[in-house]
Structure 1
Amino acid sequence: MRESNNRWVLWTLIAVLLLLLAGIGYSIYLYQVINDNRTAGFDETKEEIETQTSYHNVHSIQGYYGENNYHVFYASNEDNEERLIFLPLEGEERELIVINTEDIMREEAMVDAWSSNCDTCQFADISPAYEDGEALWEITYYDQDNHFVMDYYSINGESLEERYTYNHMFP
Structure 2
Amino acid sequence: MSYNHWQDETKKWPAWLAWTSWILCIAIVASLAYCIYLYNDIQHSKMAGITSTKKAVAAKTDVTDISKVTLFNGFEQYHVVEGKTKKGKKKLVFVPKNKKDKKAKFVVVPSEKILPKNAIQKQWQQQCDSCKLVKITPAISKKHLPLWEVAYHDRSDRYILDYFRMSDGKRYEQFGFKSLFD
Q: Place the TM-score, normalised by the shorter chain, in its bin.
A: 0.7 to 0.9
Superimposed CA distance per residue, residues 4-28 of structure 1 (whole angstroms, 9 cap, x where no aligned partner) = 8xxxxxxxxxxxx999988876665
Structure 2 residues without counterparts, runs of 5 or longer: 1-8, 13-24
Counterpart mapping for 1:1-171 below 5 A:
28-90=36-98, 91-131=101-141, 132-171=143-182
Contact 1:110–1:157 (8 Å) recurs in 2: no
Normalised by the length of structure 1, the TM-score is 0.78
Normalised by the length of structure 2, the TM-score is 0.74
Q: Which amino acid aligns with 2:105?
A: E
Identity %: 25
Structure 1 residue 149, shift from structure 2 partner: 0.8
Superimposed CA distance per residue, residues 107-138 of structure 1 (whole angstroms, 9 cap, x where no aligned partner) = 12212221232122111111111112311111
CA RMSD in angstroms, aligned pairs only: 3.0
Larger radius of gyration: 2
Out of 153-162 and 19-28, give the one that drifted further.
19-28
Superimposed CA distance per residue, residues 14-55 of structure 1 (whole angstroms, 9 cap, x where no aligned partner) = xxx999988876665444322212111112101222244432
Superimposed CA distance per residue, residues 143-167 of structure 1 (whole angstroms, 9 cap, x where no aligned partner) = 1111111101010343111111111
Partner SS state of residue 93, structure 1: coil
Q: In the aligned structure 2, how far is the partner of 1:128 from the partner of 1:157?
A: 14
Q: In the aligned structure 2, how far is the partner of 1:46 from the partner of 1:170?
A: 42
Q: In the aligned structure 2, how far is the partner of 1:166 from the partner of 1:62?
A: 24
Contact 1:62–1:72 (8 Å) recurs in 2: yes
Partner SS state of residue 41, structure 2: helix
Structure 1 residues without counterparts, runs of 5 or longer: 5-16
